[in-house]
Chains A and B, each alone.
Chain A
Amino acid sequence: MNILLLLILIPLLGACFTIWARDDKHYSVENIRNVSVWVMLTELGAILYASSLLNVEKTGIQLVEKYHWLDFPEVDVLLGADTFAMLLLLGINISFLISNMFLVQTDRPKTLLSSELIFICLLNGYILAADIISFYIFFAAAGIPLIILVSAYGGLRKKNALVRFSIYNLVGALLLLTAIMIIYSYKSNNIPLNMAGNVNLKDYTEYLVWLSIFFAFISRMPIWPFHYWISSINATQRNPLVFFIGTLIPLIGLYGFMRFWPNTVPQTIAVYAPVFEVISVITMLVIALTGLSHKDFRYKLFAYATIYYLLYLIGVFLPTGSLKMNIGYSLFTSIIIITVLSFLISHIEEEKRKQNLYHNNGILCYMPRTSVCLSLFILAGIGLPVTPLFWNNFIIISEILNYNLILGIFVMASIFIVAITLLEELYKMKDKSAAAKVCSIEMDLSKSEFMISVGCLIILFLSFIKPLWFVF
């Protein structure tokens, strides 16, 4: 059974169903949402089945599937997964399922959910790609649904954001294409991702290839000089699902580094890792401080997500290959936390808008369920020791401190600042003395939404006890 291909095709089929779903004025959102929820449930079932086929003791790519695509130039598409890829796949797909369940009312539901499902299809493909050409295809293609989403749901500056976003994406894609085709031309065949570093490139070609790959992935991450475009898209984003998808853009860059950097990058290039680490840590600090000074809670969440991605990136750059699974466990948790927080913030903002409130102060006093969920998820996000985030971040930071004390101190300072930022916001929202009098208890999360949030907490707790709970 071609299970990996199925994992890519299920969301694509779902997108087709969504596009052709009945567009009734009253039931449209519900119809389309139901389709997407069922698609994601099926997808999760398929992921769990694929996970059951994995041998967690083995390292390297498993469940390899090969498809002949082209003869000129000769290209066989390879799909494959390891435990890390499956963990990431599960985290992302659970998050999208949660997002779809949370989604109640939205503009243009067809555009939103069909683009979301196409994005999931491409992201799954990107994670499962095991050769350089299919890796590139999914890398570049993932930009298309994002362009559609930015066009449809962008904020006030969406025109400029779209141009910047598209050009950066295209620059990154063209750089990666050039690099992989140079690697390809040396072997005259499509080669597996983990073999890319074994190609003996000439001196200057080696630099050209690896710098192109580096900049291609960096273009998807909010690192200087590419930091502005992602924040310009995300900071003004009101739709929680689009916001969440926006926070996954850096994951594409991070995953690219994870696939290429630790094992495949040649030593001549690996010596420059400290330079990248310094750039990353400076960006971390700047974003943390910007998040602290910003008033918008969503921007603070964006800063949180970015800082954690950069932390994992520094982990990838470290000259140790042992952190991969820790990064995986931590990523799995943080993605789910960001999803739930994004929807909780949207709920609060929506209620604030309905009540004509100018600020969030004390709003949680009238939303007991929301208050419980938000408090628990913020605490989990900053390292409450009931989720894998605590334990694995501890190991990653320890390794960074062990590698370079100053670097580690800066990383810890950034994480500390972003934790303060979230706690400050939580405190403000729980401070009854500053609450507006017009609030009512009806503003709270519905029971079903509360149950979804609790379900997510249970998943996180399970992952803390047994990180690979889904492999049986």
Chain B
Amino acid sequence: MLAEIIYNLPEIALLIGILHIGFLYIFGDDKAKSYAAVTRFWLLISVFLEILFYNKNSYGDFIKKDAYSLLFILWSDICIYIMLIFSPGWFSGLKRIGGRYNILLLLAAGCLNIMIKANDLTLLLVGGCALLIINDALIRINYEKASTEPAKRYLVISCSIFALAFVCFVYLWYMAQGQTEYVSLANVISEQNKSLTIFMGIMGILMPLFYALSIVPFHMMAEEKTSKSILPVAQYFATIMPIACWGVFIRINQIFIPTYGTEMAFAYKILALISVIFGAIGASARINLHRIFTYTTMYHFGVVLLLFSLFTQEAEFTAFIYLFVYMIALDSTYMIFYSIKSHGEYLSSVTSLSGLAKSRPYTSGALLVGLFSMIGLPPLAGFLGQLNVVYELIRNEQYISLGFILVFMLLLAKAFLNIIKTIYFDQKIKLFDTENKYVLLYTWFGGIAILVLMFNPYHIIETMKDMFYVLFL
């Protein structure tokens, strides 16, 4: 009993963090910085404990802690930590404390951690449902009393998708005679004859993950999640959610590969290529930065899914590398959004960035680094991902898919060039606020990380490889 409590200390630390925020509120602290500092502190404690007990399992087969889960938990928690450095500035600007946001973020971190560690479909579904409620609450944080329509739509669509997933879960549960632990489920599926209903059941289980990852055609809320939410929430949806969801997806994928690999490969490939096409076209057709990056993410996640359709260990690790370098670039781009302000208002349309380079050369430079990395130009980290993807697709003789990716990459590059054109050539139409030095420092830190990763990737990639390959043991 004591051991179980100790092994669950990472989650308990997050709950204590929530209580601590509650105390702060009761005692009338009105500084957004204090709330964020407390959240960061308990998040760090949770991360530390996660590292300490990374292989100590509890609750029987429900949870499976290993180096793989630690990898994704560390990654998502570090992203949350970075986000918590920037968000107080945003809340202070509106004279808000951001208490609700911090509490929801800790809850979301806990849910995501559990989902990554989950070794049982039931636990995964419960975690997913809890996360749905938390996400809905996050979307509803809107201080301008703007329409709550997006939040309502999000709830309706998410509930529908979860309902469908639940039906599929019940079917698989019935078929497996109540065994929902991953390995047992995999064994049961492999013993059954191949059938369309089981395949549909599997796809139904994966559907909420596709929805969270904005894979076409499950991208209904992709744009609204980021463009209609407040900036810290948009960052959460753009960076943290996908990292954790990919962590879950990669693990759950392993259950169904031995039996339904061929069918799933075909389905993944179709979904991936449609996402690549939609992502590139969508990005070049939008003028809102959040929407552009949502579509950019759609393109890149399409590429990641395409690699998963190959169902080889090397391809899966390649997908992970690609995801890793892309998310670094995206994260550093979101940091830049915090430093683009005019009269206290955070800017999000491309046209509002006109002439940014003249008055904010360092911010523009950092944005340039992020954009170039996203299209895989050397010597930036994005190239590392691109190199791996091209190699893996060629090795598996996926020339047509490779052609698709590269052609639509050009379209995506054109979208980025429009941003660069606006920043560097257009006349300034807004007076930009002075940059926060800390924000600038972190922004450049992100840019430098993109460069350094490219120059000496050996150690970090080797470490990640060791942690990732635990999945296949």
**A residues in contact (CB < 8 Å) with B:** 68-73, 111, 133, 136-138, 140-141, 143-144, 147-148, 151-152, 158-159, 162-163, 166-167, 170-171, 173-174, 177-178, 181-182, 184-185
B390: A residues at CB distance < 8 A: 177-178, 181
Within 8 A of A (CB), among B257-305: none
A181 with B391: CB separation less than 8 A: yes
Q: A73-B387, A177-B390 are in contact. Are A163 and B372 (CB under 8 A)?
A: no
Query: Within the complex, what minimum Cβ distance (angstroms) separates B406 from chain A?
Result: 5
Q: Mark B385-403, 1 if CB is under 8 A from A, else 0.
A: 0111011001100000010
A141 with B421: CB separation less than 8 A: no
Interface check B375, CB cutoff 8 A: yes
Interface check B89, CB cutoff 8 A: no
User: Can you list 13 contacts pairing A with B, beta carbon distance less than 8 Å?
Assistant: A68-B458, A71-B462, A72-B388, A73-B388, A136-B378, A137-B379, A151-B420, A158-B425, A162-B417, A167-B413, A170-B413, A171-B410, A174-B406
A72 with B317: CB separation less than 8 A: yes
A69 with B458: CB separation less than 8 A: yes
Query: Within the complex, what minimum Cβ distance (angstroms) separates A460 from chain B?
Result: 34
Interface check B424, CB cutoff 8 A: yes
Residue of B nearest to A143 (CB): B377
Whole-angstrom CA separation of A146 from B383 in the bound complex: 18
A70: B residues at CB distance < 8 A: 384, 457-458, 461
B462: A residues at CB distance < 8 A: 71
Whole-angstrom CA separation of A162 from B391 in the bound complex: 29
A174's contact among B394, B395, B409, B424, by CB below 8 Å, is which?
A: B409
Interface check B95, CB cutoff 8 A: no
B386 with A177: CB separation less than 8 A: yes
Within 8 A of A (CB), among B354-377: 357, 361, 368, 372, 375, 377
Whole-angstrom CA separation of A185 from B390 in the bound complex: 10
Interface check B465, CB cutoff 8 A: yes
Residue of B nearest to A134 (CB): B378
Interface check B414, CB cutoff 8 A: yes
B458 with A173: CB separation less than 8 A: no
A72: B residues at CB distance < 8 A: 314, 317-318, 321, 388, 461, 465
A163 with B414: CB separation less than 8 A: yes
B357: A residues at CB distance < 8 A: 151
A137 with B383: CB separation less than 8 A: yes
Query: Within the complex, what minimum Cβ distance (angstroms) separates A21 from chain B?
Result: 14
Query: Within the complex, what minimum Cβ distance (angstroms) separates A38 from chain B?
Result: 24
Query: Within the complex, what minimum Cβ distance (angstroms) separates B300 from chain A?
Result: 16
Whole-angstrom CA separation of A227 from B368 in the bound complex: 27
Query: Within the complex, what minimum Cβ distance (angstroms) separates A138 from chain B?
Result: 8
Kindly list the 3 A-B residue pairs having the minimum CB-CB distance in the complex, ordered from nearest.
A137-B378, A151-B424, A141-B378
B321: A residues at CB distance < 8 A: 72
Query: Within the complex, what minimum Cβ distance (angstroms) separates A152 from chain B?
Result: 7
Whole-angstrom CA separation of A152 from B364 in the bound complex: 13
Interface SS majority for chain A:
helix
B414 with A185: CB separation less than 8 A: no
Residue of B nearest to A121 (CB): B379
Whole-angstrom CA separation of A184 from B395 in the bound complex: 9
Query: Within the complex, what minimum Cβ distance (angstroms) separates B184 from chain A?
Result: 32
A133: B residues at CB distance < 8 A: 387
A73 with B391: CB separation less than 8 A: yes
Residue of A nearest to B357 (CB): A151
Q: A158-B425, A181-B390 are in contact. Are A173 and B461 (CB under 8 A)?
A: no
Residue of A nearest to B386 (CB): A177
Whole-angstrom CA separation of A167 from B357 in the bound complex: 21
B457: A residues at CB distance < 8 A: 69-70
Residue of B nearest to A164 (CB): B417
A162 with B394: CB separation less than 8 A: no
Q: Mark B436-473, 1 if CB is under 8 A from A, else 0.
A: 00000000000000000000011001100100000000
A170 with B410: CB separation less than 8 A: yes
B420: A residues at CB distance < 8 A: 147, 151, 162
Q: A167-B413, A167-B414, A170-B375 are in contact. Are A159 and B394 (CB under 8 A)?
A: no
Whole-angstrom CA separation of A70 from B406 in the bound complex: 23
Whole-angstrom CA separation of A152 from B406 in the bound complex: 28
B421 with A159: CB separation less than 8 A: yes
Q: A70-B457, A140-B377, A141-B378 are in contact. Are A185 and B394 (CB under 8 A)?
A: yes
A138: B residues at CB distance < 8 A: 378
Query: Within the complex, what minimum Cβ distance (angstroms) separates A205 from chain B?
Result: 9
Known interface pairs A72-B388, A181-B387; 8 further A-B residue pairs with C-beta atoms within 8 A, sorted by A's residue number: A68-B458, A71-B462, A72-B321, A73-B391, A136-B378, A152-B424, A159-B425, A174-B409
B465 with A140: CB separation less than 8 A: no
Whole-angstrom CA separation of A69 from B425 in the bound complex: 38
Whole-angstrom CA separation of A182 from B403 in the bound complex: 13
B387: A residues at CB distance < 8 A: 73, 133, 177, 181
Query: Within the complex, what minimum Cβ distance (angstroms) separates B420 from chain A?
Result: 7
Q: A144-B372, A166-B413, A173-B377 are in contact. Are A178 and B458 (CB under 8 A)?
A: no
A162's contact among B361, B378, B421, by CB below 8 Å, is which?
A: B421
Query: Within the complex, what minimum Cβ distance (angstroms) separates A219 from chain B?
Result: 13
Query: Within the complex, what minimum Cβ distance (angstroms) separates A296 from chain B?
Result: 23
Residue of A nearest to B424 (CB): A151
A178: B residues at CB distance < 8 A: 390, 394, 402, 406
Residue of A nearest to B389 (CB): A181
Residue of A nearest to B364 (CB): A151
B318: A residues at CB distance < 8 A: 72
Residue of B nearest to A137 (CB): B378
B417's contact among A158, A166, A182, by CB below 8 Å, is which?
A: A166
B465: A residues at CB distance < 8 A: 71-72
A185 with B458: CB separation less than 8 A: no
A181: B residues at CB distance < 8 A: 387, 390-391, 394
